[in-house]
Amino acid sequence: MNVIEASGLDKRYGSTWALRECALAIPAGRVAALVGPNGAGKTTLLNLAVGLAAPSAGVVTVLGGLPPGSPAALDGIAFVAQDTPVYKNLSAADMLHLTRNLNRRFDQRYAEARLAELGIPLNRRAGKLSGGQQAQLALTLALARRPRLLVLDEPVAMLDPLARHDFMATVLTAAADGVSVLLSSHALAELERVADYLILLSRGQVQVAGEVDDLLASHRVLTGPAAEADRYAERPVHVRRGAAQAHLLVRAGADDPVPPGWEAHPVGLEELALAYLREPGAAALPGPRRDTQPSEVTQ
């Protein structure tokens, strides 16, 4: 089952296209990272998936074919928006009461136990909590609904490193309990620790999508003489050229031969994502190469 599936998905705001012919299929049971620069369409895609916006064209479904925003979809999806949506003048207890009354399913005992474990007083106003505590309160409200899919839009952007680590630990615990997760974030180093599926969005289109292990195994970095870099221009995703040495991120398997005089190194998720962000036209999957040149940085 795919928790989110889109085909030919377009979204336009006036004359501005946020998404163009977006296609993807995110399988269930994954911690999927949605990565892209500002303005790439990440929040738009999430809003479409949770039913907060309607597409201009194309189709998006959730949880195995449900229309976004339908009662069955709303019952199975929990969404934590970028601005950590809690009412500042309500206490944590009030937030639990409000969320319980607005949802068909809510695990009050879990929510209270989790806030106690985090040291968040039920009688304290949300506006008096730290940024990390507000994020944890919002996440607790989402998880207490016992969703099948948890959607998070830049949830750790304003958190310090310790609060970010604690937040992501909770997300991983939820994933281990069977919750599918779609997480939009700029924190690539953090995502490398938690994500097992990657969707890279740029200029309103999906550039890369797949299992992280498969993507990393199908790419590597070649290091060799700068003068010979152009000999491998058919395959680089990204080229970083110095005076004497060049570094090429290429699509290649572990069994592909290494060119004479060159060394091969494994690639990390952050390095891979940055390469495709710099070169939005470089398709990661096998097939005809687009009419684009690899990006190049000269040191």
151: number of CA atoms within 13 Å, CB side? 24
Boundaries of every domain in the chain: 2-213, 220-298
Q: What is the pLDDT of residue 235?
A: 66
Radius of gyration for the alpha carbons in the chain, expressed in angstroms and rounded: 21
Instruction: Give the model confidence (pLDDT) of 199-254 as tens digits.
Output: 999 888 898 899 999 999 989 998 998 888 777 655 688 888 888 888 888 888 77
Q: What is the pLDDT of residue 257?
A: 86
- Buried-exposed string 78-88: b where 16+ CB fall within 10 A, e elsewhere: bbbbeebebee
CATH class of 2-213: alpha beta
Residue 39's closest CA among 67, 3, 11, 59? Answer: 11
Q: Is the pLDDT of residue 46 over 90?
A: yes
Q: What is the pLDDT of residue 76?
A: 96
Instruction: Give the model confidence (pLDDT) of 242-295 as tens digits.
Output: 888 888 888 887 778 888 888 989 998 888 888 888 866 555 443 333 333 434
Q: What is the pLDDT of residue 270?
A: 87
Contact 182, 149 (CB under 8 A): yes
Residue type, 140: T
